[in-house]
Structure 1
Amino acid sequence: MNKRVPFLLTLFFIITVKAQQVDPLRAKQYILQEEWVDSIVTNMTVEEKIGQLFMIQAYSNKDASHEQFITEMITKYHVGNLIFMKGTPKKQVSLTNKYQNLTAKVPLLIGFDGEWGLDMRLKNTYRFPWNMTLGSIQDNKLLEEVGKRIGEQCKRVGIHVNFAPVVDINTNPNNPIIGNRSFGESKESVAEKSIAFTKGMQSAGVLANAKHFPGHGDTATDSHLTLPTISFSEKRIDSIELYPFKKQFESGVASVMTAHLSIPSLEMNPNLPSSLSENVVTNILKGQLGFKGLIFTDGLNMKGAADYATPAEINLAAFKAGNDILLIPQDVPNTITLFKTELEKGELSEERLDFSVKKILKAKYLAGLNNFQPISEDNLLEDLNTTKDDLLHRELIKNAITVVKNNFNTVPFKHLEQKKIAYVKLGDDKGDHFVNTLKKYTRIDVVSDENLGGLLQKLKKYNLVIIGFHKSNKNPWKGYKFANKDLVWLQEIARNNEVLLDVFASPYSLLQIKTFKNIDGVVVSYQNSKISQELSAQALFGAFDIKGKLPVSINEDFAAGEGIELKSLKRLGYSIPEAVGLSSKKLENIDRYIDTILKQKMAPGGQVVVARHGKIVYNKSFGYQTENKRRKIKDSDIYDLASLTKILATLPTVMRLEENKKLSLFSDLDNLLPAYKETNKEALNLKQILSHYAQLKAWIPFYIQTLDSVTGKISKDLYRKKKSRDYNIRVAKNLYLKSSYKDSIKTFIKDSDLRERVGYKYSDLGYYIMKDIVERKYKMPLNKIVQDEFYKPLGLNRTSYLPLRKYNWKEVVPTEKDDYFRNQLLRGYVHDMGAAMQGGVGGHAGLFANANDVAKIMQMYLQEGYYGGVQYFQPETIEKFNKRYYSHVRNRRGLGFDKPQINPKEKPTCGCVSDRSFGHSGFTGTYTWADPDSGIVYVFLSNRVYPTMKNRKLVKSNVRTKIQKAIQDAIIN
C-alpha cells in the first residue's frame, strides 16, 4: 500500500484549492436518509455488504443464460448494482423490473454509460451531439438543458447514475479515446460546460459522474487497450487536469470515476493504474480535494487495469485505494472470498467496508430507491423520442456552428444574383442533406470528376465553390482525417476558385491543412448528422445568427474560443412546428385534407408549405403530376401559378416604380400610356385599377376571336405550326400566333366598354394594362425585369416565366388537356389563354414556381420588404399596398393584394386570419396567404384544372381555405 503524499502537491493544494464543503449525496430529508441507511446496514451480513460494492454488466440483447447469470449474481452473491449495456429500452425496463424484484433488502442502483444520451447504448433512443460539439456553444443554459433531458430519459428507463459528463481536457489532438467526448481544451470552458451539464442531469434526479479522474485528456493511447502514461508534473496536473474536477466538486457533482492511467508524478509505481492508487484516490481525491461523493472505478475489465493482477486482486486493490463501487468487476465469487479473507486477517476493516456501503446506500436513497416503484412500459419509446428533444437538438446545433475564417464576408451568402455556386464533396461519407438544403436557397450545381484536372476545368465557370468535408457520424471515435488526395484537391480548388470549406467532422481535422491562405471561408459544423447538414446549409444563407466558438485550437491558425459571430439575413429557415409555436399533431389535419383531395380527385397532386416566424415547418408534396401516376410530385416540381402572378410578378415591379417615384398611384392612365388618351379609360388611376375598382370588365376571351366560326378550331390565318418573323408568339407546343396580334389585344382592351355599375369587380384586364406600364417604364420585358430585380437576388431558382427555357419538361407539372383552344396537353405553357397569346408572359398570369419559392417572396412581404440582407421595399411601401382604399363600399381588395372578406358571402380566406393579412388565389388551383399578426405564410399549389378546367371540385369544397383554418387552429402560442 503506497502511503506517499507528494509534498509539492500538498503545498500547492493548500495554497490554491478549496476542499469540497458539501456532501453531494446528502438528501434534503437527510435525517430520514440517515435512519434508512443505518437500518439497512445494521441488518446486513458481511456478504451482503461486499455485494453492494459491485456494479456488474447487464445486457438487454442477450439470451436467457445471461439473464440467469445476472439473477444468480443478485440472489447468490448479493450484487447491489448493475450497469446496463447494449439492448433496447423496452427490454431493459422489463429486465430492470425483474431484477429489482429479486433484491431482498435494498433495490439495485442502475448505472449507464450515456454521454450523449441513451443512444450510446440503446437502440431506438435519442442521440444528442458529442461534447466537442457542445463545447462550441456559448450559452451554457443549453448545456444545462441537454443534461436535464438526458437525465429525464435515463430516469424514464430506471437509470439512477449516468456516467457523464466527461470532464477531461482534451489537450492532445491525437488522443484516441477522449477527443470528441471532451468539451474542449480550455480548462475554464470544460469546467463551465460540464458543470452546466451536471446541474441539468442532477436536477432530473439522476446522479452525474465526473470522469476520468485525474484527467484522461492528454493521452496518446486508449486505456481500454493498454495503460496510458501521463508524464506531467504534479504542478501541471493540479493546474490543468484537476481544474474542472475541483470546480465540479464545488458545484456538487454526485460521483466521480477514477481512470486507469500511469502517472509517475502522483504514483511511484508506474505500473500501478491510478484507479488502484491509494495516493490518487484516497490522499488526493478524498483527502486533499475533499470529495465526499460516490467514487467509481473505470471499467475493471479494461486492459488499463485488467493486466495488473488477477481480477480478484485488482478488485481488492481498487477498494483499498479508496474507490466505493467496483465497475464491471471480473470474477465476483473469488473477489468476495478474497475480501472475506482480508477482513478475517485484519488487512481490511469492516469500518472501511461500512464507510463505502453507507455512501452507496445514501446514493440509493438520493435516487429514490428507498421507495422503489416498478417502471412503466407504457408509451416508452414515445417518451424517449419527443418533439422536445428535436427542438433542443436543433438549438444545440444552431448554436454550435462556427465560422473561423470569413474573407470577403463570404458567409452568409449575399447578392445571389451575382453568384454561380458549385458544391464539391470531400470525405468518405454522404452530404446529401447538406446539398438538398442548399438547393432550397438558390441554384447549386453538384460538380465532380474522377481526376483533379477535369474537376478544375468544370469549376472554371463558378465564382463560389462550397466544399463539404463529410466523415462518419456513427460514433465519436470514428476517423475524422482528410485523405491525402482530399488535401491536395482542396488546395488546388482553392488556388483557382473562391472557396467555402464546411467541415462536418471533428475540428481537429483542420490540423492537417498546411495553409488556409487560399481558403476564403472556413465553417466547422462538427458532425455529419442530418440535422447538422441541414442547419449548416441554412446558416450559410443567413437563416439564423451564427454564434459558435472553437473548443480547441488549430495550430497557430485558429485559437480555442475563436469564432466569428454573424447576424441572420432573415432568409427562410426550415424547422419543426413546435419551434414556432405550432402543433405537429394539429397540422396533421392538413394530411387529412390532402387525402380528401386525392380520393375525390380534386387534383392529381400538389404542394403545401406552411411557414411561421421565418421558418418553414410543413413542406409536403403529394400525389402525382397526372392521373396516370407515373411521376410523383417532388418539392422541386413547378406549377402554373395563374393569378398568383399578379402579386408575385407585376405587383412588385409597380411597387418599386412607385417607391422610386417613377409613377404615382393617382396618375391618370393617359399620362402613363398615351394610347389611352381620349378613351373611356383615360381618367382611370392605378389605385382604382389595382383595387379592382376601375369598372373594367372581368376579362375578354381573346382566344375565341381567333377560332374559326365554322369549325371551332384555331384560324389558319392567325396560327402556324412553325415559328417565323410574322408568326412568333408561341402559345403552345408547335403553335405560333401571328406577331401583330399583340397589338390587337391592346386595342381590344383599350376599346372595351367600362362596366356601367361603379364598384368592386375582379378584373384581369388591369394587369394587361399594368404590364404595358411597367415594360414602358423599364424599357424591357416583364419576365426579364422580375428575374433581374427580384427572383435572382431572392434566390428564386424554381420561379420563372416560360419555364421550358430553364427547366426539364419533367419538372413542370401538366396543367390541362386543352380541347377548346390549343387542343393539346399544356405542359410548361401557361394555361391562361390571354397570357398565352402574349407569348406566355402576362401581367395577370404566366408565372411558374414551386411552393418553396412562393413562400420566399411572401416572406419578404411579411418582413416589410426585407429578405436575405436586402431591403427590397420600404416598410411604408408594403403598408401602402396592403391597405384597403375602398372598404367603405365593401371592396375588400388592397392594391394588388387580396384581403380577407368583408362580405360574408365571399370566401377568399377561412375567415380566421387577421385584417392585416394578404395574399391571392389562382384559377389553376393555387393559393398563397401571409398574416403579419400570426407570422404565418401559407402556400398551396395544385393543377386542379387537370384533366380539364371543368373539374371544380377543389373550388367548390373550399379545401384551400379549410387547410388555412387547420393551420390557424394549430397555433399553440
Structure 2
Amino acid sequence: MKKHFLLLFILTATWGSVLSQFRTNDPSQDVWVDSVFNSLTPNQRIAQLIWVKSAANKNMSNQLKVAEQIKKYNLGGVIFFTGNPKRQVQLTNLYQASAQTPLIVAMDAEWGIGMRLNGVISFPYNLMMGASDNPELIKQVTTEMARQMKRIGVHISLGPVAGITTQPMNPIIGMRSFGESPQKVSEYSLAYMQGLQENGIIAVAKHFSGRGNTQSDSHLTLPVVPYPKEHLDSLELVSFKKLVENNVGGIMSTHLNVLHLDEKQGIISGVSAKILNGIFRDEWGYDGLIITDVMNIAGAKTYGEPGEIEAWALKVGNDVIEFPKDIEVAIRGIKKAVEKGELSWDEIDAKCKKVLRVKYRAGLNEFKPVSATNLMHDLNGPKAELAKRQMIEASLTLLENHNNMLPLKGLETLKIASLAVGRAEATPFQKTLSKYTRVDHFFLPEQFTAEELKDLKTKLESYNLIIAGIHLLESKTRYSMQVGSLRKPKPRRAYGLADETENLLDYLANEKKSVEIFFSSPYALTEVTNFTPPAGLIMAYQNDSLVQELTAQLIFGGVGVSGKLPASLGDYYKIGDGIMLDEVVRLKYTIPEEVGMNSERLNHRIDSLVSDAIKKKATPGCSVLAAKDGKIIFHKTYGHHTYDRRIPVTEEDLYDLASVSKISGALAAILKLTDDGKIDMDSKFSDNWTDWESGLFHRSNKKDLVWRDILAHQAGLIPYINYWRETVRDGQLMDRWYSFQQTDDYSLKVAPGLFLKDSFKKQIYKDIRRSTLSPPGNYMYSGLAFLLIPQITEDVSGQSFTDYLAENFYHPLGAYHITFNPLNKFPKVQIVPTEYDSYYRQQQIQGTAHDEAAAVFGGVAGNAGLFANANDLVKLIEMYMRMGNYGGKQYLREETMREFTRVQFPENNNRRGLGFDKPLVNNNEISPEKSYPCSGASFESFGHSGFTGTFVWADPVNKLTYIFLSNRVYPTREPNMLGKLNVRTNILQVFYDEMGK
C-alpha cells in the first residue's frame, strides 16, 4: 500500500467546533481512514494505539532501535523528549519513512518545545501565566507554541496541565499548574487549549484527576487522593469538564489512587472503568482521545504487570498507551486479552479508527518531509519572543511596596548594591539594573555560610538600598522536565531554604532598605519560618534570563506591574494579592515588534549600511541605538575600536561626543538656568559675560549680542579659533605654557603627561573678545560662545560646571557614563580612541578631548569634551524629547523645552533652534536625498551632530530618539567618508521607514 507521511497540519478555522469525535462531513476522511484501516493486520491495529518514546539526544543505536520498532510493529505514534530541533526533524523524517502508516508525533511540551529542545525559546510555566490573569495573553503564548510545534512536525501537545495546585510541597505539579482557583484554572486552561487547537495542534488536558492535590510523586509511588466526589467536582474536576465541553482533543489519565471515585483497593485512575468510562464517557459524553500517562513508572506498576495493565487500560476507556515498558509484551498482552474475551476486536477497531481520524485531521494523509532549512530562525522568531515578553511582564507580581518606593526615584540619593544569592557572577538581572543607574554587584553562593553572610554585611554597610535576587529557592525534589528523571534530594527543606538564607532575609528586611525578588517557585516563601516583609517584594516565579531582565526594568519603572498571586502562600499572602503600578517612567528595553517594527528588516538594513561604512573605512566601528514610544528597540554595536580589529566595540564603550557636547553639556546648563529665571534669552550675553562689555582698557564689538541670536548661530560670531597654535613656536610646544607634570599653575590636562598653564584661559577669552564679527542675522555656525558657558554656569549657579551638570541632570538620570575626562573614572580600554594627533599633542588621542579648543580647557568645555556611551546618552536625549520629563521627574519646564527646540528665525532661512539643530526649513519641499537630517524627520524634531562621527536626534511627534556614536576621525580626520556616505542620517531614515510599514 502507498505509504502515508506528514509535514504540517492543514486545518480549517473550524477545528474546535468539529473536533468532537474527530469526525467531519468530509467524505475523503472516511475513504482515507477505511483505506488505511483495511491495510492493517490485527497486530498493527493494536500497535496503532501505542506511542513509543524517543529523544533527539540519545545515541544513534537507540534511535535506530526506535525506527526498527516503528517499522516492525507499525506503531501509531512517537513522543519526543530531549534533544535539539535539527536532530529531532531528522528523526521525525526517519521515523515517518519507517512507518507503514503515518505516525502521530507528540511532545510533552507544556511551556513550548523549548522545554525539551536546546536552543529554542521557552515560554513561562503555567503558574507564572496564571499570575497574569489574562486568558488572551495565554492564548497568544500557546499560539506561538503551536507554530513552533508545527514547524518541527509535531501534531499533539501533552498539555495543558489542567489540574489545580493546592499543596505547596507537591513535588510533581507545582509550577506546572495555573493555580489554586478552579474557575481561574478552567479559564486559563481553555485559553491554552484554544491557542493550540485553533492553530492546528491537538491539546491533551492532564493529569486527570487531582494530581496537584497530592504530596507524593507518581514516578516513585502511587499517590492517593482521599477526597469525596463532591469535593473533586467542585475543585479538581472543574477545569477538565470545561475543556471537555469545549472539545479538547485529548485527556491524559494519570496514575493516582482516587479513593472516592473508585473504591477498588489500590486502583489507579488511569485504569479505572468507573473514572474513564463512568465519568468521561457516560457522565460527560466525551468522545475524544483518552491517553494514558507513561506506563513505565512506579504509579502504573502498582496495578499490574506489563501486558496486563496495557490491556486493562484499553478496556476501561483509554485509546492510546503512552510508551509501555515493553512494546512486544504490551501487544501480546492486549491480543491475549482479546482472545480471553476481556477485550473485543470491535473495541480495538473502534479505537484504531478514532486514532486514524485524528491522523487525518492532522494532515497525515499527505506526505511532505519536515524541512530543516532556516529551522532555528523560524523557531525563534520575534513573535515568539514578543509573546513571552508580554506574558512575563503581565505576570510579575509586586507584593510589597512600602511608601511607594517602586519605581525607584531620586537615583542621585541612592547608593545601590545588588545581591545575587545562589550565583557567583553577574546575572542578567544585575546587568539590566546597571543599565538604569550605577549599581555595585555582590554575590553569595548557593550554600553560603554564616561567616560569608557576616562578611557581606560588612561590605553592604555604606549602601542605603539593597536589591536582592534570590536564585536558589527551587524545589530540589521536583521532577526535572529537562531530563525526565528525578533530581537527587538534598538534606534540606524542599525548596533549599537553609537557616543562613532565613538569616539573610531577616537582615534585609529589618536592618536594610531592600527589595527582594524571588526568581523561584512562590511556594518557596512558605518555607520561611518567620517572614518579615521587606520594603519591596517581587514574585518573579522563574529564573529565566528574560524574567530577570524585565524584573529589573520593573524596579526602575521601565515596565509596569499588574500580576496577581495565582495561589496562596501559607499565611503570608493570599491568592489574588498583588499591587498594580501603571507608572512607566523610564525607558524600556524590548524588541522592535513591540512598537510594530520588523526586527529582521530593521537589522538587515542597518547592518548593511554600517557594514558598507566599515568596509569603506568611514569608521572602524560604531554604536547605534533607537528608542520608539519610550522603548529601546534597537541597540547594536559594530566593528572595532580601531582598524587592526583587536578590540570589538561593546555597549559599555565611551565615545568622544565632540559637538554633541554642546547640547548634552553646555545647553543643558543654559536650559536649567533659563528655567530657573537666571538667564533670559532676550537679554544681552554680556549681562552674564562681562568680558564683552566695553571698558576703560578694552573695547568689545560684542557687548550688544543677544543670547537668542548666539544660540541660534546668527549673531555673526566666527566659527572657530585655533587657540592652541598660540602655544606653539616653530612646531614646538612653548615651555612657558606646558609642563609634563600637573601643578597648581599647570592643571589643564590636554593629554596624558601634558598640562597647560591655567592662565592661558585668559588668552582664550581675549581672543574671543577680539575676534571679528560679521553682520548679524545670517546663519553661521559658531562654537565660540559655548566655550564661555562653563564659566558662566559657575558664575551664575555658584557651582562648578561639572558638578552642576552631574547634580541637575546626569546623576538623577542614572547617566554616570556621561562625563568629561573619562580616564579619571573608566579604564582606558573602555574608551574608544579618536585621532592620532601629529600636529599638536604628538600622540594617539584616547580618553582626552579630540577637539583642540576643548583640550586647552583641560577637557572641560562647552563646545566639546563630553564622553558617553549610547545607553546613558539616550536618557538625556529622551528627557529632552519628553519635554523635560524623565523617571517621574520634571527636569525642565515643558515651555522651556518647546521654546529652545523651535526654529527661531525661519524668515532668515535659519533652521536652528536655541542650541539645537533642526530639519531644513524647506525639508518637505525638497527631494529626499537633499533633505536634512532625512525626509522622515518632523519639523518638531531636533538634535545635533559631532565632528568625531556622533549624531543624536529626537522627534517628539514620532516619539523617536536616536543615537549614533562613532570614531570616524580614527586614524585621521580626513577624508570624512562617514559624512559623504550619509551613514548617520540614512540609518535614521530607516527607522522612519519602518514606522510606516
Q: TM-score, normalised by structure 1?
A: 0.92
- Counterpart residue identity of residue 51, structure 2: M
Q: After the TM superposition, which of the residue ranges 450-459 and 667-676 deviates more from structure 2?
A: 667-676
Question: What is the CA-CA distance between 1:873 and the residue it aligns to?
Answer: 2.5
**Kept in 1: contact 2:395–2:562 (CA 8 A):** yes
Per the alignment, in what secondary structure is the counterpart of residue 532 of structure 2?
A: coil
| CA gap 1:598/1:838 in 2 versus in 1, 3 angstroms | same
Q: Look up the match of 1:461.
A: 462
Q: Look up the match of 1:470.
A: 471
Percent identity between matched residues is 39
Deviations 1:549-573 (A, max 9, x none): 2222222111122111112433122
Q: 2:701 aligns with which of 676, 680, 703?
A: 680
Deviations 1:150-191 (A, max 9, x none): 122222332222111111211111111111211122222221
Q: Distance in 1 between matches of 2:150 and 2:860?
A: 63
| CA gap 1:737/1:153 in 2 versus in 1, 3 angstroms | closer
| CA gap 1:928/1:428 in 2 versus in 1, 3 angstroms | closer
Question: What is the CA-CA distance between 1:596 and the residue it aligns to?
Answer: 4.0
Q: Look up the match of 1:835.
A: 854
| CA gap 1:335/1:848 in 2 versus in 1, 3 angstroms | closer
Per the alignment, in what secondary structure is the counterpart of residue 376 of structure 2?
A: helix
Question: What is the CA-CA distance between 1:832 and the residue it aligns to?
Answer: 2.3
| CA gap 1:61/1:832 in 2 versus in 1, 3 angstroms | closer
| CA gap 1:151/1:707 in 2 versus in 1, 3 angstroms | same
Q: Distance in 2 between matches of 1:758 and 1:65?
A: 85
CA RMSD of aligned residues (A): 2.9
Residue pairs, 1:8-19, within 5 angstroms:
none
Q: Distance in 2 between matches of 1:151 and 1:781?
A: 61
Q: Distance in 2 between matches of 1:818 and 1:56?
A: 72
Q: Look up the match of 1:12.
A: none
Q: Look up the match of 1:945.
A: 969
Q: Look up the match of 1:565.
A: 580
Question: What is the CA-CA distance between 1:296 and the residue it aligns to?
Answer: 0.7
| CA gap 1:765/1:184 in 2 versus in 1, 3 angstroms | same
Residue pairs, 1:618-697, within 5 angstroms:
618-626=634-642, 630-678=646-694, 679-697=700-718
Per the alignment, in what secondary structure is the counterpart of residue 391 of structure 2?
A: helix
Question: What is the CA-CA distance between 1:399 and the residue it aligns to?
Answer: 1.6
Q: Look up the match of 1:704.
A: 725
Q: Distance in 1 between matches of 2:814 and 2:824?
A: 18
Q: Distance in 2 between matches of 1:889 and 1:595?
A: 39
| CA gap 1:40/1:748 in 2 versus in 1, 3 angstroms | closer
Per the alignment, in what secondary structure is the counterpart of residue 435 of structure 2?
A: coil
Per the alignment, in what secondary structure is the counterpart of residue 391 of structure 1?
A: helix
Q: After the TM superposition, which of the residue ranges 32-41 and 423-432 deviates more from structure 2?
A: 32-41
Question: What is the CA-CA distance between 1:791 and the residue it aligns to?
Answer: 0.5
Per the alignment, in what secondary structure is the counterpart of residue 274 of structure 2?
A: helix
- 1:294 has 2:289 as partner: yes
- Counterpart residue identity of residue 543, structure 1: G
Q: 2:265 aligns with which of 261, 270, 288?
A: 270
- Please list every run of 5 or more consecutive structure 2 residues that lacks an aligned counterpart in the other structure: 1-15, 445-450, 475-479, 488-493, 695-699
Per the alignment, in what secondary structure is the counterpart of residue 131 of structure 2?
A: coil
- Please list every run of 5 or more consecutive structure 1 residues that lacks an aligned counterpart in the other structure: 1-19
Q: Distance in 2 between matches of 1:263 and 1:430?
A: 47
- 1:361 has 2:380 as partner: no
**Kept in 1: contact 2:473–2:521 (CA 8 A):** no
Q: Which runs of 4+ in 1 moved over 6 A?
A: 20-23, 476-479, 903-907
Deviations 1:171-228 (A, max 9, x none): 1111111112111222222211111010110001111011000121022221122111
Q: After the TM superposition, which of the residue ranges 947-956 and 37-46 deviates more from structure 2?
A: 37-46
| CA gap 1:171/1:589 in 2 versus in 1, 3 angstroms | same
Residue pairs, 1:109-128, within 5 angstroms:
109-128=104-123
Per the alignment, in what secondary structure is the counterpart of residue 891 of structure 1?
A: coil
| CA gap 1:730/1:61 in 2 versus in 1, 3 angstroms | closer
Q: Look up the match of 1:590.
A: 606
Q: Distance in 1 between matches of 2:831 and 2:77?
A: 63
| CA gap 1:355/1:688 in 2 versus in 1, 3 angstroms | same
Per the alignment, in what secondary structure is the counterpart of residue 460 of structure 1?
A: coil
- 1:909 has 2:930 as partner: no
Q: Distance in 2 between matches of 1:950 and 1:186?
A: 70
**Kept in 1: contact 2:51–2:76 (CA 8 A):** yes
- Counterpart residue identity of residue 468, structure 2: I
- 1:148 has 2:143 as partner: yes
| CA gap 1:952/1:405 in 2 versus in 1, 3 angstroms | same
- Counterpart residue identity of residue 81, structure 2: M
- 1:793 has 2:812 as partner: yes
Q: Look up the match of 1:179.
A: 174
Residue pairs, 1:47-446, within 5 angstroms:
47-62=43-58, 66=62, 69-70=65-66, 73-74=69-70, 76-101=72-97, 107-371=102-366, 373-428=368-423, 431-446=426-441
**Kept in 2: contact 1:696–1:765 (CA 8 A):** yes
**Kept in 2: contact 1:312–1:330 (CA 8 A):** no
Per the alignment, in what secondary structure is the counterpart of residue 451 of structure 1?
A: helix
- Counterpart residue identity of residue 464, structure 2: N
Q: Look up the match of 1:550.
A: 565
Q: Distance in 2 between matches of 1:77 and 1:739?
A: 93
Q: 2:822 aligns with which of 777, 795, 803?
A: 803
**Kept in 2: contact 1:470–1:504 (CA 8 A):** yes
Q: Distance in 1 between matches of 2:154 and 2:402?
A: 49
| CA gap 1:561/1:786 in 2 versus in 1, 3 angstroms | same
| CA gap 1:640/1:63 in 2 versus in 1, 3 angstroms | closer
**Kept in 1: contact 2:311–2:334 (CA 8 A):** yes
Q: Distance in 2 between matches of 1:862 and 1:923?
A: 23
- Residues matched between the structures, number: 951
- 1:918 has 2:937 as partner: no
- 1:884 has 2:903 as partner: yes
Question: What is the CA-CA distance between 1:798 and the residue it aligns to?
Answer: 0.5
- Counterpart residue identity of residue 564, structure 1: I
Per the alignment, in what secondary structure is the counterpart of residue 435 of structure 1?
A: helix
Residue pairs, 1:596-607, within 5 angstroms:
596-607=612-623
Q: Distance in 2 between matches of 1:387 and 1:506?
A: 27
Deviations 1:548-603 (A, max 9, x none): 22222222111122111112433122222333333333323333443344444444
Per the alignment, in what secondary structure is the counterpart of residue 460 of structure 2?
A: helix
- Counterpart residue identity of residue 115, structure 1: E
**Kept in 1: contact 2:470–2:518 (CA 8 A):** yes
Q: Look up the match of 1:780.
A: 799
Q: Distance in 2 between matches of 1:529 and 1:516?
A: 25
- 1:845 has 2:864 as partner: yes
Deviations 1:485-529 (A, max 9, x none): 333223224433211111211112222333443621111222222
Question: What is the CA-CA distance between 1:91 and the residue it aligns to?
Answer: 4.2
Q: Look up the match of 1:10.
A: none
Per the alignment, in what secondary structure is the counterpart of residue 217 of structure 1?
A: helix
Question: What is the CA-CA distance between 1:22 and the residue it aligns to?
Answer: 8.7
Q: Look up the match of 2:13.
A: none
Question: What is the CA-CA distance between 1:604 and the residue it aligns to?
Answer: 3.7
Q: Look up the match of 1:859.
A: 878
**Kept in 2: contact 1:258–1:295 (CA 8 A):** yes
Q: Distance in 2 between matches of 1:800 and 1:970?
A: 33
**Kept in 2: contact 1:138–1:547 (CA 8 A):** no
Q: 1:715 aligns with which of 721, 730, 734?
A: 734
- Counterpart residue identity of residue 803, structure 2: K
Deviations 1:74-133 (A, max 9, x none): 4554432332334444444444445445555x5333322111112233344332222122
Question: What is the CA-CA distance between 1:970 and the residue it aligns to?
Answer: 4.3
Q: Look up the match of 1:930.
A: 954
